[in-house]
Amino acid sequence: MRIVAKDLTYTYNPKSPFASQALKGVDIVIEEGEFFGIIGHTGSGKSTFVQHLNALIKLTGGSLTVGDYDLSDKKCKFLELRSKVGMVFQYPEYQLFAETVEKDVMFGLKNFHKGMAEEEMKAAVKEAIGRVDLDYEDVKDKSPFELSGGQRRRVAIAGVIVTRPEILILDEPAAGLDPLGKKEIMQLLHAIHGSWCKTVVIVSHDMDEIAENCTRAAVFSEGKVVMEDTPAEIFKRSDELISLGLDIPVTAKCARVMKERGIEIDTDFTCDDFIAKTLALWKGQGGGNAQ
């Protein structure tokens, strides 16, 4: 399912003294199969935008289609859409509430498939818990509160992918985790992308995460998309990102320092590529113990 937004606008509390226009004409296309990143300052409209994609926020201005679903159409099958576009909120582990992990994950399924047989549901729940790399037998009867923070986040993700959404959206999936936890979550999302959900969309303020993981990304600023491209092209424009008050990946920071010294590296800004290109250049110039 392809996502196409045109001139999307949204105002919170319209017609009140507290009106705040969060989206000011967002144009964006996310192709099926992408691992898409959404970057931007706090308050730039990222969360407001992604909540439109499964109609948690109803369209009030502009147009939005997700596959064949036209979200401007009042007759759009919103419940069906929500089962195909899964949304994992920021810190989703705080929204777990059932007594057991199994019941929590099943809750997501019951909402959408009321007629599904109990056995079939249990099988789907078991598969989803396995997919997030948790041991089903070990965790199914535990309270979510007995698990670690990282495990709880996995349970929350299982509760969303259990409906087998085609598109999985995650708002800051790695926020608040330690470096290893962040790496594991990103690895998990790639595994889900390869085997379970065709398209993954992540909101992130971590530029290294975007450089390392995304096929393409969009930069939000003040309710608009100001760049939409591959991370390699976006991070070439580091001056513009900095002037927007955004951070850049550590590889882009190094590239800037090297450029000041007259050395240009043609890199996609992933760490592996940056190191390989730097080493190749260094060896070519007889650096180190060249063999």
State the residues that interact with ligand ADP by CB under 6 A: 12-13, 20, 22, 40, 42-48
DSSP for 167-205 reads: EEEEESTTTT--HHHHHHHHHHHHHHHHHT-SEEEEE-S
Out of 8, 39, 47, 225, the only residue in the binding site for Mg ion (CB under 5 A) is 47
Q: Is 221 in the site for Mg ion (CB under 5 A)?
A: no
Contact region for Mg ion (CB under 5 A) — 41-49, 180-188, 222-230, 256-264? 41-49
Q: Is 48 in the site for Mg ion (CB under 5 A)?
A: no
Nearer to ligand ADP, 56 or 265 (CB): 56
Nearer to ligand ADP, 54 or 267 (CB): 54
Nearer to ligand ADP, 46 or 236 (CB): 46
Nearer to ligand ADP, 48 or 238 (CB): 48
The least distance separating Mg ion from the CB of residue 171, rounded to whole angstroms, comes to: 6
Of the candidates 219, 261, 222, the one whose C-alpha atom is nearest the C-alpha of residue 240 is 219
Could you count the other beta carbons within 10 Å of the beta carbon of residue 283? 13
Phi-psi region of 249 (alpha: psi -120 to 50; beta: other; left: phi over 0): beta
Query: How far apart (Å, rounded) are the C-alpha atoms in residues 173 and 153?
Result: 9
Output the six-digit token pair for 98: 């059932």
Residue 44, binding choice from ligand ADP, Mg ion, none, Cβ under 5 to 8 Å by partner class: ligand ADP
Number of residue whose CB is nearest Mg ion: 47
The least distance separating ligand ADP from the CB of residue 16, rounded to whole angstroms, comes to: 10
Name 167's bridge partners.
Answer: 85, 199
Contact region for Mg ion (CB under 5 A) — 13-21, 44-52, 110-118, 243-251? 44-52
**Helix crossing, 271-284 with 250-260: angle to 10°?**
30
Q: Are 198 and 167 in contact (CB under 8 A)?
A: yes
Nearer to ligand ADP, 50 or 85 (CB): 50
Q: Residue 36: what are its φ and ψ, rounded to 5°? A: -100, 140
Q: What residues make contact with Mg ion under the rule CB under 5 A?
A: 47
